[in-house]
Amino acid sequence: MVLFALFVRSGLPLVVLSGVGLMVTAFAVANAFRVERLVVLSGVGLIVTAFAVANAFRVERRPAAILGLSPVSKKVGVFVAVGCAVGAAFAVLHRVTWDMGTLPARLTSFAVVGAAIGAAEELLYRGYVQGRLRAFGWVIPVVLAAGAHTAYKTALFALPPDGVAIDLRFLAVWTLIGGVVFGALRQASGSVLPPLAAHVVFDIVVYGEHVEAPWWVWG
């Protein structure tokens, strides 16, 4: 009974609900090209996630603190610079691994979209999820937030279009590793801004030269 009470009061049920909602949304959006009705399912997933996040903000006195948007200090600024370097390093490693060249030849308008997607993911996973779990100490919030983000990414890429090869094991392992590193930046700095900066830089360097959005963005 005591453990159940701690489970409920920690906000973990709503964290799980938001994670499931985003997984459903990711799977539905990525596969809408197969079944158009999945667009409706993606909307349901977003509503579930929005409900969970809104409920947390309703009961929390300082919503910005949950997301890690405050306070902003010189320490946070230093970690933002570190985050940018980490994001760039991961991006170059990714590009070299997949023979994409070290840096993008140019940046297109999709760089803005990619950056926005990365920022939104960080606000949810390193911001909301990790922030809601802060009562569990240092390690558990980092690992669970990284795991939730990995589950979302796996759902997003689980069933690619014909002719598109996705190494799900590689994707899952490196998303988890990146998530742990980004989560450590959040914990060490006390802010979501460093991992957000890291993810934005990563997405710009990796996807910034795309002329149009990849299949997994709009389905």
**Model pLDDT for residues 132-158, shown as the tens digit of each residue:** 898 899 999 999 999 999 999 998 888
Whether 104 and 110 have beta carbons less than 8 Å apart is answered as no
Closest CA to 101 of 22, 218, 206: 206
Mean pLDDT of the 3-31 span: 64
**Model pLDDT for residues 52-88, shown as the tens digit of each residue:** 777 777 766 777 888 899 888 999 999 999 999 999 9
Peptide bond between residue 71 and the one before it cis (omega within 30 degrees of 0) = yes
Q: Classify residue 137 by its DSSP letter.
A: -
Helix axes 38-59, 12-30, angle to 10 degrees: 160
What mean pLDDT, rounded, does the chain reach?
85
